[in-house]
Structure formats: C-alpha cells, structure tokens
Amino acid sequence: MNFFKGLTWDHPRGYKPLQAWAQLDDLVNVQWDIQKLEGFESHPIDELAEKYDLLIVDNPGIGEAVEKNCLLPLESFLSLEQLDFLKKNSIGNSYESYRYGGQHWAIPIDAASQVCALAGDIAKTPPITWDDVILLSKKSNQRIVLSLGGPHALLTFYSICLSFGDLLFKDNRLIIKQEIAIHALSIMQNIYQQQDKSLIDLNPIGLLDAMAKGKIDICPAIFGYINYADPSHSLPITFCDIPHAGQSILRGSILGGTGLALSSRCTPTPELIQHIMGYVSESVQKNLVVDNEGQPANIAAWRDEYTNKQTGNFLSSTFNTVSSAYVRPKYQGYIHRQDAGSKVIREGLKLGSHPEVIFAKIEQVFSL
C-alpha cells in the first residue's frame, strides 16, 4: 500500500474530516499531521513541501508556492472530466481561487468567506446594512466587535469597500478610490470606538470562542466557522449574510477556505487521486465532512437539507455571501503586504488617526 504524508491545520474543521476519510480508505495510506494555523505563515512553503506530499493551503499563498516550484498543477494529474467536476461543483470562486499562471494548484475542499456572526437575541433581527451595524454599535446593550487580528483588519476594510461597489485591484495594483476608502475606514472607526479594545488582536477563532461564551453579541464581518453553529452547543452562534451598503447584490465579502495541494515531491498514484476526488464528492462532503465538523466546498452540500439541519442552517444562511465572495491577489509578496496593511489599520484605529492618513499608509504599503 502506498504511503503519503499530509499537513493540515489544528482546528477540528481542518483535520477531523480528513483523518476520518483517511481511516476509511483501504487502498491508500494517508497520514495527516497537524500544525498550528500560524505555523503555515511562519514556515516557508518550500520547507513544508520538502517534507509532505499533501498540503492544505489557502488561495493567497498560491503565488509564492508556485514561484518556488513547490506544487504540482492539477492539470498534471487530473483528467479533464475531473477538472470539470471541480469547476462545476465547487461553490462560488473556490475553484478559480487556486488558479495562477494559467493552471490550478489546489483542489477546493473547504469554502469560507467573511459573514455576519450573531449571538443571543440579536440573531432574531440581524443587521442588513452597514448603517444598521453602526446604529447597533451605539446601543449600550449590544457588545459589538470587528475582526482585526492578523490580516483581518485589512480584509474587513476590503469588504466594506467592495460593498460600496468599488474595485480593489487591477493587475495586482491597488486601485481603491480615496473617498470610498475614507468612508470604509470611518465605519470601522465608529464601530471600534464602541468595542472592547482588548479584542483587537484576536483571530476569528478567538472571537468566535468569546462569542460562544456569551462575551460578544455581534461581529459583522468574520470568517464563518461551521462548528460554532452546531445547534447542540449551549450557546450556538447564528451566521448570516454579511451586511451590504444598500445593494444586496454587493455583499463585499472576501473568499477564504482551503485547498488540497500536492507537493512537487509527490508522485500521485491512481489510488491517491481516487482518494482525493472521493473526498470532494457530493456524498462525502454532505455526510462525512459535515459529521466530522468540516466545512464543505461542494455546492450541493451547501444546499442540502441534512447538512443545514445539522449546522443550524449555517450553509444556507451564508450561501449568497460565500457564492459571491471576492478573490484576493496571489502574486509573490502579496501576503507580506496584506499583513503590513492590516497592521497599519490596527495602529490607526488605536491612535484615532484620520482615515485619510490611514489610507495613505495603506497605499504606501502596496506601492513598495
């Protein structure tokens, strides 16, 4: 039996369904190691690719991985029929998000975007627009927070800009209009002024943990996690579409999720390919993945009655947002700029800097 080593991230959503599927397969032996989410950022992709055959990756990091010759293109080991299956059955832009240099470099196995998260009674009347969010933030009984840790301050900024119909990039060049940027940053400042400042550095998992413990009522733009919507939890979180700025068609969310990539050291066998494609099949994504706290990428799973019953309608309630979510640039060096731009926003919010000053610094980061 062929043996393959894989590396995934340390949240149940990231490893439980992959490990469960591996245990069921008698034709191929896949061992999944687990690494902290931050480890994928701190460990160069080329070092990981030397040790592992399978890597769970996110779409913005594809450019660096390809430029370092770390991955195999899907076109080198999947048939046209299999590629067409992925294209037609992956939700939203999940499949295209792993395209770089004319080829695709990862199989979408998990789909996500920023959505709105609510706890308690506020879930009965979720905010529809960003104006609604600002009004909620000014109510003393509503504990509101923005997702600002790591890259998320910039991603929240992106989302609000997109909701006003603006473009973010053209040919990898930042082209956000100044008036839109100032408006978006003003919205963020209005909300930040009302929130618990100690939460500014938390990532989405940290914020959702706090929300599940009853410490937060609303986060208007945060990457959704199916696990927290489980109706059996003592305080399940309700997820819904992200607020818009007046036109519901402009959801303004940023696409996340993960893909399964094969490293350049890997020699895929027919059994391994069958194993991987089985994992993204409709039946496995609907049942095994969701039953093991995973978040599917197959569009049929997002529409399925069973999966939605199991997850407090997490999938159907955020379907429109995830389906239209924006794909970030993937050029080599983008991740560094994303982190730097997010840091600029966090510091600007802490200092109460004028939005025009904050945006000028963001533009400087992306002009380097």
pTM: 0.95
> Which structure tokens are listed for 193?
């002024």
Give the CA radius of gyration of the chain: 20
Q: How many CA atoms lie within 13 A of 161 on its CB side?
A: 23
Tokens 């009984």 correspond to: 141
Give the containing element (helix H, strand E) for 230. none
- Does residue 113 sit in helix, strand or coil? strand
Token output for 38: 């931050």
Asked if residue 352 and residue 232 are part of one domain, the reply reads yes
Flag whether 325 is in a domain: no
| 144 and 242 share one domain | yes
Both 194 and 263 in one domain: the answer is: no
Residues 358 and 303 in one domain: no
In a domain, 322, yes or no: no
Residue 307 lies in a domain: yes
Q: Is 5 helix (H, G, I), strand (E, B) or coil?
A: strand
107 and 224 together in one domain: no
The verdict on residue 184 lying in a domain is: yes
Pair (8, 106) in one structural domain: yes
- How would you class 63 by CB atoms within 10 Å of its CB: exposed for 0-12, middle for 13-18, buried for 19 or more? buried
| Tally of domains within the chain | 2
Tokens 């999947």 identify what position? 78
Q: How many CA atoms lie within 13 A of 329 on its CB side?
A: 19
CB 60 within 8 A of CB 326: no
Q: In angstroms, rounded to a whole number, what is the distance separating the alpha carbons of residues 116 and 6?
A: 32
Tell me the pLDDT of the chain (368 aa) as tens digits. 689 999 999 999 999 999 999 999 999 999 999 998 766 555 678 889 999 999 999 999 999 999 999 999 999 999 999 999 999 999 999 999 999 999 999 999 999 999 999 998 888 899 999 999 999 888 866 799 999 999 999 999 999 999 999 999 999 999 999 999 999 999 999 999 999 999 999 999 999 999 999 999 999 999 999 999 988 887 899 999 999 998 888 889 999 999 999 999 999 999 999 999 999 999 999 999 999 999 999 999 999 999 999 999 999 999 999 999 999 999 989 999 999 999 999 999 999 999 999 999 999 999 96
The rounded Cα 109 to chain-centroid distance in angstroms is 12
Are 222 and 353 found together in one domain?
Answer: yes
Do 188 and 305 sit in the same domain of this protein?
A: no
For residue 327, being part of any structural domain is answered with no
Q: In the 3-class helix/strand/coil scheme, how is 183-222 assigned residue by residue?
A: HHHHHHHHHHCCCCHHHCCCCHHHHHHHHHCCCCCEEEEE
Does 326 fall in a domain?
A: no
Residues 294 and 241 in one domain: no
Residue 308 shares a structural domain with residue 239: no
- Do residues 122 and 241 both lie within one domain? yes
The CA distance from 57 to 181, in Å, is 30
Residues 6+ apart with CB under 8 A from 247: 165
147: CATH: 3.40.190.10
Residue 104 lies in a domain: yes
Query: Do 199 and 210 meet the contact criterion of CB atoms below 8 Å apart?
Result: yes
In a domain, 283, yes or no: yes
User: Could you tell me if 182 and 356 are in contact, meaning their C-beta atoms sit under 8 angstroms apart?
Assistant: yes
Residues 338 and 228 reside in one and the same domain = yes
Q: Output helix, strand, coil percentages for the chain, rounded to the nearest 5.
A: 50, 15, 35
| 128: containing domain | 114-254+333-367
